[in-house]
Every structure is written in C-alpha cells, then in structure tokens.
Amino acid sequence: MRAGGGANRPSQEAPNQALEELCARYWFPLYAFARRQGHAAADAQDLVQGFLLDVLERNAIASASEKRGRFRNFLLQSFRNYQSKMREQASAKKRGGDFLHQSFEGGAAEQRFQRADPSAASPEQLFLRSWTMDLLAAALEDLRMDYHKKGKESIFLALQDDLAEGSTPDYAALAESLDLSVGSVRVALHRLRGRYREAVRSAIAETLEQASESDVERELTELLQALSAT
C-alpha cells in the first residue's frame, strides 16, 4: 500500500521510497523462482529486473489491495503473468536504470541460489523459502538499526547468534566481552529474543490481508515449515 501511493500519502516521496524498499527486499525470491524454472542466471536476472521496472512504470503495485490476501501470492502471480507476457511477445526487452542496478548483484545472487540447494525444491518452494529468509533477515536488520539508534548495537551484535530459543550461550564469556554481569546478559538476551519475535511478526503482518494474531500465527507457521522442508 505504501508503494502504491494511496490517497492518504502526503507526497510522492513515500511511495518512491517504498518501491525502492520493495525491489531491494523481494527481488531475490523472484530470481530464485526464475532460476529454478530453468532460466539461465543472466536470463533470470533480466526477467526479474524487467518485471520490477514494469511494476514501476505501470504503477502496478497500486492494485495490491489489502483485500487480495497475502502480498507474496500477489507478487508471485504478477511475476508469472509478466513471464507469460514476455513469452507471448517472444522477446525480452532489456532496460536499464540506476535504481535497480543498485539492488541487483548478479554474482552474489547466483552464489546464494546455488547455496540454497535448488534441486531439492520446486520453483514455488524455493520462492517461499527465499521469501522467508529475506523476511527474517529484514526483521533482524530493523532490530539492529533500532539498537544502533539507542546506542546498544554492541549488545545486539554480541547476542544475535543466540537468538534461537533453546540455544545455550556462554553467558560468562558474553558478560566479560560486554563488561556486564551474567544476570544483565541473561536479561538482555531475553529482551532481544522477545523483540525479534515482535519484529518478525510485524514484518509478516505487513504482508497479510489482515493482521489478526491468528492470521499472523498461521502465516508464521507456514513460512517456518517452508524453511525447514527438505
């Protein structure tokens, strides 16, 4: 909705910023989807870049209504439609632009695609896994920035590897590195885990038709199942 620029937006700056964030955050799941379909790396990159540019030029994202369900489903179906259009035209129109080149790193994307064990997933499964990984990473980055703004980034960096529930961190070593008591480190980690859960749920809520607790919980369960699937 931010990228579509609703009537309640004060200026064009907010939609443009949202579109940039949209492309930077969600292009890799689409790239992984195209690669798993059998497209070569360069062709997959051209397809995704062309699709995102098409979205920008037509302001197609404005049709992504909250009443149309999960945003990830909208985005994937829109990409499928774009692929069909390209096949019908029988030509891939390559277009440039500084904006998208800043978001695309072809070599890094291909390395990430290969690490994802693409042979073990369908295009849809790989898209969903990549979507989930990017959503979790975005939530983590938002949390890091929040800690940075509060002057507590060192605590975040020291504890981020122990965010998983059930992990057994070396509290004594962490306390020494942070110059805190063991008790303070335990409290800090407990708070960090709680805030990360909140950040993830907030990121999920932004992509759903509704943001009720049950809707968010169902989506979270589905995403985590996709992530753990072999």
Higher pLDDT residue, 220 or 95? 220
Higher pLDDT residue, 80 or 66? 80
What's the mean pLDDT in 70-84?
88
Give, as one character, the DSSP assignment of residue 10: S
Distance CA 22, CA 101 (A): 14
Angle at 75 between CA 71 and CA 78, to 5 degrees: 135
Last residue within a domain, chosen from 86, 120, 154: 120
Position 62 scores a pLDDT of 62
Would the pLDDT of 74 be above 90?
A: no
Total structural domains in the chain? 2
Query: Do 162 and 100 fall within a single domain?
Result: no
Query: Do 79 and 132 fall within a single domain?
Result: no
pLDDT band per the 50, 70, 90 thresholds, residue 104: low
Q: What residues contact 27, with CB distance under 8 A and at least 6 apart?
A: 48, 49, 52, 103, 104
Query: Do 144 and 48 fall within a single domain?
Result: no
Query: Do 81 and 132 fall within a single domain?
Result: no
CA torsion 129→133→134→137, rounded to 10°?
Answer: 170
Would the pLDDT of 206 be above 70?
A: yes
Q: What DSSP assignment string belongs to 70-131?
A: -HHHHHHHHHHHHHHHHHHHT-------HHHHHH--HHHHHHHHHHT-GGGS-HHHHHHHHH
Residue-wise pLDDT tens digits, 42-52: 899 889 888 88
Element housing 207 (H / E): none
Query: Do 105 and 149 fall within a single domain?
Result: no
Last residue within a domain, chosen from 120, 145, 168: 120
pLDDT band per the 50, 70, 90 thresholds, residue 3: low
Last residue within a domain, chosen from 120, 139, 154: 120
* Contact between residue 118 and residue 44 where contact means Cβ atoms under 8 Å apart: no
Query: Do 4 and 109 fall within a single domain?
Result: yes
Position 101 scores a pLDDT of 46
- Range(s) of the domain holding residue 188: 121-230
Selection from 221, 222, 223, 39 nearest residue 113 by Cα = 39
What's the mean pLDDT in 193-201?
94
Higher pLDDT residue, 43 or 96? 43
